[in-house]
């Protein structure tokens, strides 16, 4: 298969994928370093620090297109094996999942028009 045909096939497949099926994730392994998730209406930055005992304190700060001057913050403690999912108030189109396995924190957004950086 030529490169042009393979590229055309890939672009066709991506164009046919429904936007609501999009999922993006970030993986954090070092305390106090962060990464961002972006959707059509919400931008979120996530980092973690070591908390009391063996917990990670996870901090997620987000802003929405409808209130870009009003950042909101979530803070949660996650132990090894914890896995929590939720949607943000006024943004039910995107489901966020925070999962900790050992020294790895993974945050996934599903739905809407999600992207990471």
End-to-end CA separation in angstroms for the chain: 32
**Segment 21-68, tens digit of pLDDT:** 346 899 999 999 999 998 888 999 999 999 989 999 999 999 999 899
- C-beta of residue 51 within 8 angstroms of C-beta of residue 77: yes
pLDDT at 45: 97
CA distance 94 to 109: 6
**pLDDT for residue 10 is more than 60:** no
Rounded to two decimals, the pTM is: 0.75
Q: Mean pLDDT score of the chain, rounded to an integer?
A: 82
CA distance 10 to 94: 25
Q: Which helix (H) or strand (E) holds 74?
A: strand 67-78
**Segment 70-116, tens digit of pLDDT:** 999 999 999 999 999 999 999 998 999 999 999 999 999 998 655 54
3-class DSSP string for 10-61: HHHHHHHCCHHHCEEEEEECCCCCCEEEECCCEEEEEEEEECCCCCEEEEEE
């Amino acid at each position: 298969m030529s490169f042009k045909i393979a590229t055309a096939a890939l672009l066709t497949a991506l164009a046919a994928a429904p936007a609501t099926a999009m999922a993006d994730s970030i993986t954090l392994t070092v305390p106090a370093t962060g990464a961002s998730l972006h959707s059509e209406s919400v931008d979120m930055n996530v980092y973690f620090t070591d908390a009391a005992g063996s917990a990670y304190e996870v901090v997620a700060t987000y802003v929405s297109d409808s209130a870009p001057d009003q950042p909101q913050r979530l803070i949660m403690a996650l132990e090894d094996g914890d896995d929590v999912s939720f949607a943000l108030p006024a943004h039910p189109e995107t489901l966020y999942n925070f999962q900790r396995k050992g020294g790895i924190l993974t945050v996934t957004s599903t739905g809407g028009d999600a992207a990471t950086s």
